[in-house]
Amino acid sequence: MGIIEFFINLLKDPRGFIAGWIVALGPVWVYSPLFLIVFVETGVVFFPFLPGDSLLFAVGVFSAEGGGLNLAASLLVFYAAAILGNTSNYWIARFLGHRIIDSGKVKALTPERMAKLDHFFSKYGGLTIVITRFMPFFRTFAPFIAGTGHMNFAKFTLWNCIGGVAWVSLFVLTGYFFGGVPLVQEHFEVIVLGIVAVSVLPAIIGAVKGALASRKKAQETGIPTDEAELEAEEALRQQSSNH
């Protein structure tokens, strides 16, 4: 099974995967793949597409009585994964950030998303790390952008801990308290996909707004959209090099 196919299947049926891991690995070692998935999603800028929200919700369901997982252990493991993941992402950016951006290998790290994050940092400061925790893609890129010069490590760590605890608590506890409701049990896959849809909605809206703004600017200035994007990318690089 290819890595992409694996994560697509995990996204579609996290309950089935977790149940299988509990049986195969036991109630202790089952936390290893769960920790790794959340750590990689938040800690490696090349994997912004992993199913963090739905996985946390599903783990919350299995953390209820008789589910095979322990609520306190689930929360602590995911707190650690989320906080350490962001910390890893931050330090990768500190040492290799500009090289990664200039290489263009991270296709999802577009000039539009970088500009959006720059706007978030300018407007909300460290609170950006908390806000973007609840936004797929952006939660992977925010610590990366912070590490390229937007924030010192002590301040980043404070907001990182607040955001990590808030994000994990919301989804795990929602699954814990509501996962046993018959309606949720009967329509679990639909609800998981709904969580994913709601999570990615801000990113989709932002992408559409960015595309419309670029098109409008191109019409007003007479500069083709692709050239405007190149100019925006160059401006961002110059801004980053000044930090």
CB atoms within 10 A of CB 31: 22
pLDDT of the residue at 60: 92
pLDDT of the residue at 30? 92
Q: 132: pLDDT confidence band, cut at 50, 70 and 90?
A: confident
Task: Say if residue 51's pLDDT is above 90.
Answer: no
Contact (Cβ atoms closer than 8 angstroms) between residue 200 and residue 136: yes
pLDDT band at 32 (very low <50, low <70, confident <90, very high): very high
Q: How confident is the model at residue 48 (pLDDT cuts 50, 70, 90)?
A: low
Q: How far apart are CA 33 and CA 10, in angstroms?
A: 12
Residue 33 to residues 42, 165, 185, 186, Cα–Cα distance (Å): 14, 19, 24, 26
This prediction has a pTM of: 0.75
**Higher per-residue confidence, 95 vs 197:** 95
